[in-house]
Structure formats: structure tokens, C-alpha cells
Amino acid sequence: MMEERQYKKKKRFSVFIVFLFIFAIILYIILFKTSLFDVKNIYVYGTRSVDKSDVIRLSGIEIGSNTLKINKSAVIKSIMKDPYIKDASINIIYPSKVEIKIDERVLAVQISYKDKFLYVDTDCVAVQLGDYNNKLPILKGIYVGKFEIGSKINNLSNNKDIAKLLPLIYNKNIYNSIIVNGSKITLKTDSGIDVVLENVDDISYSLNFSEKILNDLEKKGYNSGNILIVSNGNPIYTP
């Protein structure tokens, strides 16, 4: 009786092992040898200037790739090689859909560099060397020094006023150049009226206040002069 029970026990165990082996083979075939987990759709969100096809190319993911073999960290690292891309994330919706979300850098100014212009974003990051861009104000008075595309320019990021100013002026299309002279910042406008901020404590408040005055002066037909704010003083307009 004892031997018979042991025999039945071994037989059940053998059957279980065979079943487990067959199940593993079937599972492997379903996961890796069929098209069930092949990528059928790739969606890219958040692009403005970067082409969606370039994002997909950088990701290395192709239609027909196996979603189970996608290394998210490697994909993000590859996408981030584009200096215009500030951040990226990837979401895999099994079995066959991939979503890539990116956050693009926002260009704020350009700096003359040799025979080209260096485009700089709102985080003081060097984004691209290119030709003159009539949509970007020229930043003058700061020595760029060594820089690497895709990284912060130390001489800009270490200047607290400029680091605060760049996110405030991007995409406003009213300034054509910004001149830095120590603690004095002159913003030249297309209307001909300069905004001068000298040794101000709250650059956001001072700039906002100056722009309201600028708008009022432009409506009244003024096209020259300076709006000056020194420290915490009131704005002074001189024709």
C-alpha cells in the first residue's frame, strides 16, 4: 500500500511537471512568437517644434516591436538626446499601444556667437546654434564662455536676474534686444520705448509694472523714451 501511494504521488507530480512545461511553452509562444504583443500604434503628445516622426525615430520603437521587450529607461534616455526636449515619459498600454509624452523647451533669447546665434531656453539651456531668428530678442552684455548644447550656460544661470527674466519675456514679441550692464538691464522694444530695470529686488513685479506703462504709452502714440525703475522706486518715464 505504501509503495502504491508513493507511485501515485510520483505520477501526479510527473503529470504536473509535464503540464507546467507545456503551459510554459504555450505562454512563451503567445508572448513572444505571436503578434498579440506587437506594437500596432505609437502616439506622441506634447510636440510643438519637434517632429513626431523624429521622436518615434529616437525612441527606437517600431511598428511590430514587442511591447514586452521595450526598455522604458533606455527609450527615454534616447529621446532626451534631442536638445529641444526637456522631459519625456512613455506609457505602454498592453498589448499593442505605446504613448510617448514630451515636454519641449521654450526658447527665450538668442546670443551672438561667432558667425551664428545661440538659442537659449527659459532655463538658460543652450538649445541650438543657428541663423538669426527674428522671433527671439538678442541678449547682449553677458560672456557665454564654454557651453554644451543641451546643458545650462553657467554664466546665464548664475546671473539671478537673467535666470528670473528669461521665463518672463518668452513669446511676448515686444522686445528685440536685452542689454545687461551689471545690475542694470535694458529691454529694447519694437515701439522704440526702452524698459530699464536697475538693481530691482522683484524683477517679475517690476517688469509687469513697466509693461503696463509701456502698453499705455504705446496706446497714446509714444514711440521713444525710457521707463526706468531703480530698486524699489516708482517707475519714471523720460521722453
Residue 53 has pLDDT above 90, yes or no: yes
Residue 2 pLDDT grade (very low, low, confident, very high; cuts 50, 70, 90): low
- pLDDT tens digit string along 151-184? 999 999 999 999 999 999 988 889 999 999 988 9
Residue 5 pLDDT grade (very low, low, confident, very high; cuts 50, 70, 90): low
- pLDDT tens digit string along 215-224? 999 998 989 9
Which pLDDT value is given to residue 130? 96
First-to-last alpha carbon distance for the chain, in angstroms, is: 114
The closest alpha carbon to 187, from 201, 202, 172, belongs to: 172
Average pLDDT over the chain reads: 88
Q: Which residue reads 522671433 in cell numbers?
A: 135
Where is average pLDDT lowest: 27-36, 46-55, 158-167, 179-188? 27-36
Mean pLDDT, rounded, for 222-239: 87
Which pLDDT value is given to residue 7? 53
- pLDDT tens digit string along 77-129? 999 999 999 999 999 999 999 999 999 999 999 999 999 999 999 999 999 99
CB atoms within 10 A of CB 85: 22
CATH hierarchy code of domain 41-104: 3.10.20.310
**Percent above pLDDT 90 for the chain:** 67
The span from the CA of 170 to the CA of 152, in Å, is 17
Question: Which amino acid, 141?
Answer: G
**Contact residues for 118 (Cβ-Cβ < 8 A; gap 6+):** 110, 111, 112, 126, 128, 129, 144, 147
CB atoms within 10 A of CB 45: 13
